[in-house]
Chains A and B, each alone.
Chain A
Amino acid sequence: MSPEELTAAIDALLRDHPPATTDPHEFFAARFDAGLAWVWVDPSDGGSNAEPALQGLVEQRLTEAGAPVPGAYNPIGIGMCGPTLLTHGTPEQRARYLRPLYTGEEIWCQLFSEPSAGSDVAGLAARARRDGDDWILDGQKVWTSFAHLSHRGLILARTDPTVPKHNGITAFVVDMHAPGVDVRPLRQLTGDAEFNEVFFDGVRIPDGDRLGDVGAGWRVGTTTLMNERVSLGGAIATREEPGAGLLESYRVAAARGEGNPVRRDQAIQLWIEANVNYLTAVRAAAGGNRGKPGPEGSVLKLTSAEFNQRAAEFQNDLLGPAGALLPAHEMRRPTLPYGSMGIPSTQTTFLRSRANTIEGGTSEILRNILGERVLGLPGDVRVDKGVAWKDVPR
């Protein structure tokens, strides 16, 4: 599809389904059917075989028109699981899962991390063994965002403990309402419970829900992780005036008599950083390559996480002694659309920002990736290389 045709499709979508009066799920369905979900893929998958760079045009036009954002209704599904299905799903799987994922009818979660395998995702221990046409899954996952709202989960499980860790993993789609799945809230330091522990006890997964080949789950997982970084880091690309909120916070504090040259300089430094991040995001989006995120994804994830933390602390401290108060203390479990718990207080945002340098890959891991995979620096000494998973200390 050419840019002109795409623009016409957007106009038609907005005309037939005015965002202000259309139910969000209905709007997403129409958007998917119009080929405006992921523009670079086939029409059957919600695309229109257009240039990947044109995705930015779609997002921009729809944002301007006040259209609902699918990521708010299915954050992990849209950001990570969808792109993974596009790359690794069979035609049947894509036909079955993509549309309800996109419309928010089926919420997804990402079940990678385990108590003993976090940064070292490939060290995971949840076990799946073959039983006729099914697989039987046992084990525990942790930090699973939105698991309590999810219908489906993208899960990595160990199917062969006798080979080195990366080779013995298989990816599956798991039904979160299947017998044997137990989701328990895990409270975080903000007081809320966004994430969960998930226990699997003899859960049956049909072989048709295996994603990719047996033992090739690591490749599926890295696709997800790369997309995670892009979606966490790239969120800034759609933001309007980067850093404007920081300047406004400073103005408010100064009007209260709490301005000073140091804070003023901090405000400007953060504003500059916000804009540089934004420009990198725009550059990354322009170079978008068929759902295969490049190193910009990891750069942005790293810089935006660390920036967010500093910006949130700056805004918190501008409150003066009130920065040490916390308006809400009871444990809340998020609902969708994300953000429907209301706009978080400055203090809660400050607390939440501590997760930014941990979730979706820690800053340490991202620096390793940038150093080793992008710059080609020599890697760490690996003690687990070539060792069967079962023999690696954990």
Chain B
Amino acid sequence: MSFSPEQEELRATVRSFLDRHSDEAAVRRLMETDDGYDPAVWNLMGTQLGLQGLYIPEEYGGSGFSFAELCLVLEEMGARLLCAPFFASAVLAASALLESDDEEAKKDLLPGIASGETIATLAYSNDSGQPDGAVTATSTPAGYTLDGSRHFVLDGALADLILVVACADAGPSLFAVEKGADGLTPTRLPTMDLTRKQADLTFDDTPARLIGAEGSADEVLQRVLQLACVALVNESVGGARAVLEQATTYAKERLQFGRPIGSFQAIKHRCADMLVAVEGSRSAAYHAATVAATGDGQLAVIASLAKSYVSEAYFSVAAENIQVHGGIGFTWEHPAHLYFKRAKSAELLFGDPISHRELLAQRFGL
């Protein structure tokens, strides 16, 4: 597949924005903060470029691009390890609302997400990362209340709006909870990947707004998680590209035994294998982005295929990058570990490679 001139232009715009606002120094500064993002840059992203609303239709305050453009932007963000609640808000929360059948909620909530004024996230997983049980919803005359806990919520401690999957009488349902709601307690988690924050959330008689019909969240969540996998693998392609470039640049510059280390076959072959992995990842990720954008029925299959292949590939190239750099690659000062940790967190998010291969096997009736 190839990108249109408009898409390439978007890529160039996002790249130069990230060059200015998400260089390594910015990443290191932000990753050490609690919330892990720069509100001023977040604002600029919304007002100058409209990135948060990129794939939200115009009628809800977005700019109406397709999921493919969102993926392309994520690839650039992944290459620069942008520290921002973008994935949580513009991917997870936005698609959860868009996939819901709730016109009113879309009209109410999407414009804020699109402009960046609202930072939103999705809370669906239990402490094994599975989307089940754990939170119950009770219907009262005054509305719904939630009880229980959700784990590993991306940017969960900072989000203004949390979309929660909870079990109501009619089954899994989607709810909206606002920051600071009664009985909502966020706990920041100490993440390995400091560039992407996570939190546990507990709900104790917490007032919540039902989104869509009671019992309708199963299908929504399945589809949102497939889209999340597609988005994440495109982000990962950016990171994989970046480490391949770091490794090859270093292999050409670093001299040992009077020669560039890249002239040793052991290193040359490692770099070549990295290239193979990155090219395979691009094929899988770009195709998945197209499938997600055109809404063709293959999404479940390609999402699992891509998640399994790309997250393993990203991890392996990020690890190889450390090896190619030798001792320097093992230091805090070198960016290699930032990508390595991002790759590990991406591998474990939304189902690890083994679980996606299991899904495929089941789908194929094996």
Contacts and interface: CB of A to CB of B under 8 A. Distances in A.
Interface stretch (B7-15, B102-110, B134-142, B186-194): B186-194
A197 B257 CA distance: 22
B322 A354 contact: yes
A343 interface: no
A78 B91 CA distance: 54
B319 A354 contact: yes
A362 B345 contact: no
Given A120-B256, A317-B348, A321-B152, A358 B323 contact: yes
Contact of A323 (B256, B261, B331, B348): B348
Given A321-B125, A325-B190, A364 B267 contact: yes
Contact of B327 (A118, A320, A324, A367): A118
A123 B257 contact: yes
Interface stretch (B75-83, B92-100, B332-340): B332-340
B259 interface: yes
A contact residues, range:
35 or more
B190 A358 contact: no
A192 B212 CA distance: 49
A140 interface: no
A362 B258 contact: no
A115 to B, nearest CB: 9
A119 B326 contact: yes
Contacts of B258: 123, 382-384, 387, 392-394
A308 interface: no
B129 interface: yes
Contacts of A367: 266
Contacts of A317: 347-348, 352
A258 B128 contact: yes
A187 interface: yes
Nearest to A392: B258
A350 B343 CA distance: 14
Contact of B256 (A123, A260, A363): A123
Contacts of A364: 264, 266-267
Nearest to A350: B344
A189 B332 contact: yes
A363 B349 CA distance: 30
Contacts, number: 126
Interface residues of B, number: 47
Contacts of B330: 188-189, 354-355, 358
Contact of A324 (B193, B323, B329): B193
B354 interface: yes
Interface string A224-257: 0000000000000000000000000000000011
A275 interface: no
A44 interface: no
Interface string A91-134: 00000000000000000000001001111100100000000000
The 10 closest A-B pairs by CB, nearest first: A189-B337, A187-B332, A384-B258, A321-B129, A364-B266, A326-B192, A120-B256, A324-B345, A392-B258, A383-B258
B276 interface: no
B181 interface: no
Given A113-B327, A118-B327, A358-B323, A324 B255 contact: no
B261 to A, nearest CB: 8
Interface in B134-182: 151-152
Contacts of A355: 330
Nearest to A194: B330
Nearest to B257: A120
Given A119-B256, A323-B344, 10 more contacts: A123-B258, A187-B331, A191-B332, A260-B354, A320-B129, A322-B127, A329-B194, A347-B192, A383-B258, A392-B258
B128 A351 contact: no
Contact of B255 (A113, A321, A354, A393): A393
A333 B87 CA distance: 35
A394 B261 CA distance: 11
B358 interface: yes
A362 B190 contact: no
Contact of B257 (A187, A329, A354, A383): A383
A384 B341 CA distance: 38
B216 to A, nearest CB: 26
Interface in A196-243: none
25 contacts: A117-B256, A123-B257, A123-B258, A188-B331, A189-B332, A189-B336, A321-B129, A322-B127, A325-B192, A328-B190, A351-B337, A354-B319, A354-B323, A355-B330, A357-B323, A358-B326, A358-B327, A359-B327, A364-B267, A382-B257, A382-B258, A383-B259, A387-B258, A392-B258, A394-B258
Contacts of B322: 189, 354, 358
